[in-house]
Each structure stands twice: as C-alpha cells, then as structure tokens.
Structure 1
Amino acid sequence: MSLIKRFGYYFGGFAIGLVILAFFLNGKKASCDYGPDARVLKNIRTKTLEYSAEATAFISLKGIDTTKINYILYKGDVNFSDSDTRKKPCGVYFVEGEIDGKDTGLSVENCDKTATIQSIEFID
C-alpha cells in the first residue's frame, strides 16, 4: 500500500472520528480545564459569588461594572505565589486581570458553597 493511500485512510478515519465526537458532545457542557489556573477559576465561577464590604466600596468608588470582575474570573491568571491555598477553612486566591487597561488584582476567598471577593486593587 502506497504512502498516499495510508494518509488517505488515516485522515478519512480521523474525519469520521471528529464527526462522531461532535455528534456525541454536541450540547454537552464538556470542557478541558486541565491547567491549575483554569481549574481554580472554573471552581470559583461555579459557586455563588459574593462581595465583601471593602470590594463593594472599591467598585462604587471606581465605577467598575461587575461584568468586568466576572471577565477577570473567566480569563484571569491565578498568582499562586501571592495566594494562600491551604488556609482553613477556605483558601484565598489572588487573581490578576485587566480592567480598562489597568492591571487589577482580586483577592478571592474560595469556600465550599460560596466565593467571596475580599478585595480589589489596581496593581502598579
């Protein structure tokens, strides 16, 4: 069997496999959150989000929309060196992102049923 026929059979089977996967995974909420950042952010997003008094005051003072905070929790980066992941009873994570061109940091307390944004700050 020539090399061209082998490639043809391989890519034909690969295409059929992709169609079958698309058919079975269509409508399912399957995700590939394998990195540590993605797993932590997904875990935070699945819980009820609350804001501390300090975070609420910062949002009001700076006129920040909560959708921008949610975007940071979706696309941000977790800074594990500034986080206290083993704190009992709830770990505290420092999530970095950008709001209106300014680097922003969120301190998020991640408990079993709720995630509380403790503080928000602009990073210089």
Structure 2
Amino acid sequence: MKILHRFGYYFGGFAIGLVILAFFLNGRGVSCEYNYGPEARVLKNIRTKTLQFSAKSTSTITSKAIDTATISYILKKGDVDFSKSEPRKEPCGLYYIYGETKDNKYLELYIENCDSIATLQTINLLN
C-alpha cells in the first residue's frame, strides 16, 4: 500500500472520529479548559461552590471598597501558594490565593474550602 493511501485512510478515519465525537458530546457539560495542574483544579473547585464571606472579610471589603467581581477575577486568574496553604486541614482545607487585579492592585485571599461551600476568611489589599 502506498504511503499516500495510508495517509488518506488515517485522515479519513480521524475525520469520522471527530464527527462522531462532535455528535455525541454536543450540548453536554463538557469542559475543555486546561485544568490539569493542582493549582487550576483548586481554583475551579472553589469557583464552582457557593462563596460565603466571613465577618472579617466583609468588613475589609466594605472599608477598602473591593468589588466581588474583583474577587471572582482573582479566583479565575490568581495563583495558589501551597506552602502557605493547609489543604489537609480538617474538616475543611485552607488555601492562600493571591493575584493582581485589573487595577494593578494585589489581593491575598484566605479561603476555607469545604465540601459544599467555600468561605472567604480574610482578604488583604497589598497596593
């Protein structure tokens, strides 16, 4: 069999496979984000839960005029520092998340991640 025929069969089968995948996975909750690292998985896990605010974080948010959209942005684009976090803490893990906002300010978040809710314990504005 010639090499050109082999490539033809390969790409033909590949195209049929893509069509079948598109047909079966169309409209389902399939996510193709790059959530392979532990940092991305933690951030996605926190984002999917109901976010509650502690009394300390609520007072900081009101006094520093921090918007909840800014907190959501940090939870999407921020970084997790596992050396400052306590992921195996019982009953809920405590994560240190930091990042730069759209206004070039730096935020530090300490979030307690439980089974069904995530609670923002403290928030620090660093700029």
* TM-score interval, normalised by the smaller of the two chains: 0.7 to 0.9
Aligned residue for 2:121, secondary structure, equals strand
Q: 1:123 to 1:2 in 2, by over 3 A?
A: farther
Runs of 5+ consecutive residues of structure 2 not aligned to the other structure:
none
Q: 1:103 to 1:19 in 2, by over 3 A?
A: farther
Moved over 3 A (4+): none
d(CA) in 1 for partners of 2:64 and 2:14?
A: 52
Using the size of structure 2 for normalisation, the TM-score is 0.84
Letter in 2 for 1:90: C
The alignment partner of 1:80 has SS state of coil
- Which region of structure 1 is more displaced relative to structure 2, 105-114 or 51-60? 51-60
- Unmatched 5+ stretches in structure 1: none
| Higher strand residue share | 1
Could you tell me how far 1:123 is from its partner in structure 2? 4.3
Structure 2 equivalent of residue 14 of structure 1: 14
**Rounded Cα–Cα distance in structure 1 between residues aligned with 2:22 and 2:59:** 46
Identity %: 63
Equivalences, count: 124
Q: CA RMSD in A?
A: 1.8
CA distance in 2, matches of 1:123, 1:26: 44
- The normalised TM-score by structure 1 is 0.86
